[in-house]
Amino acid sequence: MIKNKIVILILVIFYIISFTFPSLSNSIFIVAKVNNSIITNIDIIKEANYLRALNPDLKKLKTNEILKIAKNSMLREKIKEGEISKYLDLNNENPMLKSTIINIYSRLNFKSETEFEEYLNEFDLTVSIVKKKINIETTWNQLIFEKYKNLALEVESAALEVTDISQSESAGFSSNYSNFHFTTSNGFSSGYQRTAFGLYCSAIAGTGSSMERDFASEGRTFFNDLPSASSIGLLAANRATARLKPKRPPTGLYPVLFDQRISSSLIGHLTAAINGMAICRGSSWLLGSLNKKILPENLSLCEDPNRPRIAGSRPFDAEGLPTTQKNFVENGVLKNYILDLRSARKLNLEPLGNAYRSLASAPQPGVGNLELSPGNSTCEQLLGNIKSGLLVTSLIGATINQNTGDYSRGANGFWIENGQVAFPVNECTIAGNLKEMLLNVIAGNDGKSHLSKVVPSLLIEKMTVASR
C-alpha cells in the first residue's frame, strides 16, 4: 500500500567526478553509485543508445554530448527505481505501460511492435528493455500522483469552508521536471535541469446572478517552498467574497493603484517597448529613449538570471551566451535594450545574453528574472493617501498602442474613499499613456521575492477611470 507521505532520502555517491567515455573501449569502470546500485560506463553507453532510439533529434548530437545526457538520465532512473521499490513491485506491469508503448512506436511511425523491435535492434535494444524502462517511468508517475493527489482536495476544501463560497471552479496541483540541453553549430554545448511545483484554487462566491469569482495560485522551484494548501484555498475564498455586491465607480481622473498581483503587467509593457526587435522595427513608444529618463530617479530595473531557487534563472541564453546581472533602467535612465545576437547586430550594440526560444522557434530577445527597486511606502500607506481612487486587482483585455504608448484596459478591483475600501468594482475601464504613467509612477515596497518578476504595487496618480 502506498503511503500518503513519502520521505525521499537520496544518496548519490560519485566515484568519478570528471571522466571521458571511451565509447569504443572494452574497459569497464564505475561512474557512480546511487544508493546500492552501480552505474558503469557501459550502462551509460546503453542509455545513450536508448535515448537516441526514442528521440531521433538526439542523433544529431556528438558522442560526448549525448553521453552527458545519458549519465544524468541513468542517475534519475536509479533514484526513481530505488524509491519505487520501497512501495511497489516493479515486476508488476503498470496499467499505463501498454498504451504508452503503443504511443511511443506510433510517434516513431511504426505500425506494430514487431516493426518497433526491428528498429530497436539497430541500437542493440529490445522491446522488453524499453518496456522495463518505461514501466519505471509510468510507475514513478503513479507514485508521485498518490503522494500529491490530496493537495488539490485540501486546497478546495479550505476554500469551501469559507462563508458565502458556493462552489469551487477548479483546484489543482502541478509538478514538472525539465532537462534542457542546448547545442549550437559553433561548438557550444551545455544544459541544466529544473523542477517546478504549483498549487491553484479558483473560488466562486454568492449565488445566481450575484456570483463573483477570484483565485489564488502559488508556484515554487522547490516543493518545500510552497505555502500550505489550506492557506491558498483560504486566500482564494477571501478574495472572491470580497468582490460580492460590486458597484460602478464614478467617471473621471483619479489615482489608480495597481496591486502587486498585477503590477508586473505595467513593467511588461516597458520591457516590450525596449525589446530589441521592437526597436529594430521602429514600433516602440520608447524609440530613441536610450540614456534618457523613463522612470523616476529612485527606480531601477535589474535583471539577475542567477538568483537561486527562482524559475526564471538560467546559466546561459538560447544562443549559448552567458547570462549576467544587468540594469536595463538605472536611476530612472534607460541604459540597455533587451537584445539577442540578431537585434544587437542590427543596432550595432553588444548582446547581453537575452535570447529566448521555444523548441520550434528562432531566438528572440526576452527577459527572465526582473526586479524593480522598491519605494519607501507600503501598499497600505499608498492606499491611505488616496482620497478617491481605484485599487486594481485584476485586468481584462488590453488595447496598447505600441507606437504611442496609449493604454486602455478593463479592470476589476475596489473603490477607495479616504484611504479605505468603500466597495468592490466590477468591470470598469482605465486609460492613460504609458510614457507619462511610468515616468511619474510611485512604487511600494511589497514585491514578492520568490517571483521571477519582483514588482511592488505601483501608484499612478492620475488616470482616466470610466464605468462600463
pLDDT score for 189: 83
Overall number of domains in the chain: 3
Contact in structure between 123 and 144 (CB atoms under 8 Å): no
Say if residues 223 and 198 touch (Cβ distance below 8 Å). Answer: no
Contact call for residues 403 and 284 (beta carbons, < 8 A): yes
Same domain (yes/no): 338, 392 = yes
β-strand partners of 439 = none
Note whether 344 and 459 are same-domain residues. yes
Cα Rg of the chain, angstroms: 27
* Residue 176 predicted with pLDDT over 70: yes
One domain, residues 267 and 155: no
- Same domain as 435, residue 384: yes
Task: Give the domain-ending residue among 120, 145, 170.
Answer: 145
Task: Using alpha carbons, select from 441, 436, 439, 437 the residue that is nearest to residue 455.
Answer: 441
**Residue 445 to residue 365: CA distance in whole angstroms:** 29
Same domain flag for 301 and 221: no
> Any idea which residue has 538568483 for its cell?
307
226 and 303 in a single domain? The answer is no
Alpha helices (H) in 183-245, listed in sequence order? 229-242
Report pTM. Answer: 0.82
- The pLDDT tens digits of the residues spanning 222-246 come to 999 999 999 999 999 999 999 999 9
141 & 170 share domain: no
Q: C-alpha cell of 412?
A: 476589476
In a domain, 237, yes or no: yes
234 in the same domain as 180: yes
Lowest-pLDDT range, 107-111, 187-191, 260-264, 437-441?
A: 187-191
Last residue of a domain, one of 242, 265, 295: 242
Which of the listed residues 216, 242, 268 is the one where a domain comes to its end? 242
| Euclidean distance between CA atoms 118 and 144, whole angstroms | 34
Same-domain check for residues 443 and 408: yes
For 323-374, what is each residue's pLDDT tens digit? Answer: 999 999 999 999 999 999 999 999 999 998 999 998 778 899 999 999 999 9
Pairing mode of beta strands 406-417, 388-400:
antiparallel
Give the closest residue to 221 by CA, choosing from 147, 311, 151.
Answer: 311
Task: Quote the domain boundaries for residue 266.
Answer: 246-468
- Check whether residue 36 and residue 58 sit in a common domain: yes
- Residue 255 counted as domain residue: yes
Do 165 and 277 reside in the same domain of the chain? no
pLDDT value of residue 26:
62
Instruction: Assess if residue 3 is contained within a domain.
Output: no
- For residue 101, being part of any structural domain is answered with yes
* CATH code: domain of residue 161: 3.30.2290.10
pLDDT above 70: percentage of residues in the chain: 94
Q: What is the pLDDT of residue 22?
A: 43
Same domain, 196 and 322: no
> Computed from CA positions of residues 297, 262, 446, 418, in that sequence, does the dihedral angle turn out positive or negative?
positive
Whether residue 6 is contained in a domain is answered as no
Does a structural domain hold residue 4? Answer: no
Given a contact cutoff of 8 angstroms between Cβ atoms, the answer to whether 182 and 318 are in contact is: yes
Residue 151 lies in a domain: yes
Residue 5 belongs to a domain: no
**Inter-residue contact 417 to 388 (CB < 8 Å):** yes
Alpha helices (H) along 13-126? 41-54, 63-84, 97-107, 113-121
Q: Which of 13-27, 138-152, 347-361, 381-395 has the highest mean predicted lDDT (pLDDT)?
A: 381-395
